[in-house]
Amino acid sequence: MNALAIRRQWRLAIVAVLAVLLVLAPALLPTYPLSVLTEILIFTLFAMSLNILLGYAGLPSLGHSAFFGTGGYAVGLLAKYYGTPAALALVIAVVAGILVAIVTGPFVLRTHGAYFLILTLSLTQVLFGIVWLWRKVTGGDDGLPGIPSPRIPFLVGRISDTANFYYLTLIVVGIAVAAIAWIVRSPFGLALVGIRENERYLEGLGYPTWTLKYVAYILAGGFAALAGGLFAYFKGFVGPGQISWLLAGEGMVMVILGGAGTFWGPAIGALLVLLLRYEVSAFTQRWVMILGIVFILNVLLLPQGIVRLPQRIREIRARLRRETTLAPPLAEATAAAPDRSVERVIERS
C-alpha cells in the first residue's frame, strides 16, 4: 500500500513535469517542430476518442475518420460560406459529429466484431463519396482551402502565430483529454470495459449495455469531430483525405501500437506514428517500409502497446535474473510474483 502511494506521487510529479514542458514548448522549440507537436496533440485527441470505442468498449471501428472529417467540413463550410467565428464553429463541429453518431449509431451497433468494422468502413466510404462528388459545395477532391486560422487574441503580436495556435490547441485538447480521462474512470467507463470483456455477463447484471455502447459511440464521435475541426483550422483547409478510411486506419494503428484500452497509449501511438512519418521521411524515401517494419516489431515485441514498455523490461529483467543465477534471485523473483500476477490480471482486463 505504501509503495502504491509513492507511485501515485511519482505519477503526479511526472504529469506535472509533462504539463510544464508542454506549456513551455514554444519557448524551447523552433517553429517547425512546434507545428509538428501541434499536429501530434490533435491526433492524440483523435486517437483517444477512437480508443473509447476500440480500447474500452471493444468496438473495432474502421470509420472513425467520418467524424473527424465531419468536424473538418463543418468548420470549412462555416468559414467559407458564413464566416462563423472559430469558437462557435468548433461547437457546431462537435454538434455535427454527435448528430452523425446519433443517426448512424443504431445501425452500426446491430453488428459486432468484423461486421462492425466493415459497416463503419462502408458508411465512411459513402460519406467520402458524397464529399468527393458534391463539387459545388465541398470542392470535391481539391477540398476547401483558405480557412482562416483562429488566434488567441491577447497573445497576438507577443508570440508567433505558430505558438499562438499551439496554445489554442493545447487548451482545447487539454480540456478534451481531461474530459476523456474523467469519462473512462467513471463507472460508465468501467462498465464499457466490462462490455468489452463479457457483454452477456454485464447484461445479466442488469446493465443497459446497448445504451452504454450508444453513448460511448456518440461521445467518441463528438471528440473526433472536435479534433477534426481543430485540424482543419491548423491546416487551413479541409479535403476528402480527412474523411478517408486510410486516416481511420492510421488512427487505429496509433491506438493499437500505443496500447489499446490504456489511457496514455493512444497519445504515445500518435507521437510514434507522426514522428516516424515526418522525421523518417525527411531522411529516406523508404520511410513507408520503415513504418511497416516498426509496426511489425511493435506488435511482436510489445503486443500490449508501447505503454507497457517498463513492464516488459521488468519482466525480461526478472526472467534473465532467474535464468543466469540460481538461489538468491529466485527468492526475489517469487517475491515479485504476486505483483506480476496482478498485472497480468489487469492486462487481461
Q: Which stretch binds another protein (CB under 8 A): 3-11, 78-86, 215-223, 315-323?
A: 3-11
With CB under 8 A as the contact rule, the residue among 83, 154, 300, 331 that binds another protein is 300
Query: Grid coordinates representing 27?
Result: 519557448
Q: CB burial class (10 A; 0-12, 13-18, 19+) of residue 302? A: middle
Quote the CA–CA distance of 217 and 102 in Å, as a whole number: 8
State which of positions 231-270 bind another protein (CB under 8 A).
231, 235-237, 239, 241-242, 249, 252-253, 256-257, 260, 262-265, 267-268
Q: Any contact of residue 294 with another protein (CB under 8 A)?
A: yes
* 97 versus 259: smaller Cβ distance to another protein: 259
Tell me if 315 contacts another protein by CB under 8 A.
no
CB of 47 to another protein, least distance (A): 13
Q: Does 307 sit near another protein (CB under 8 A)?
A: yes
Q: Which long-range contacts (CB under 8 A, 24 or more apart) does 200-205 make?
A: none
In the chain, the amino acid numbered 61 is S
Beta carbon nearer to another protein, 133 or 137: 133
In whole angstroms, the minimum distance from the beta carbon of 124 to another protein comes to: 8
Question: Taking the complex as a whole, how short is the minimal distance between the CB of residue 153 and another protein, in angstroms?
Answer: 19
Binding mask 62-101 for another protein (x = CB under 8 A): ----------------------------------------
Name the residue type at position 34.
Answer: L
Q: Is 23 in the site for another protein (CB under 8 A)?
A: no
Give yes or no for residue 103 binding another protein (CB under 8 A): no
Class of residue 124 by CB neighbours under 10 A (exposed 0-12, middle 13-18, buried 19+):
buried
Residues numbered 140 to 199 that lie near another protein (CB under 8 A) are 140-143, 145-146, 185, 187, 190-191, 193-194
In a 3-state reduction of DSSP, which class is residue 325? coil
Interface residue with another protein, options 75, 89, 119, 173 (CB under 8 A): 119
* Exposure letters 307-341 (e unless 16+ CB within 10 A, then b): bbeebeeeeeebeeeeeeeeeebeeeeeeeeeeee
Strand ranges (E), 128-266: 144-145, 237-238
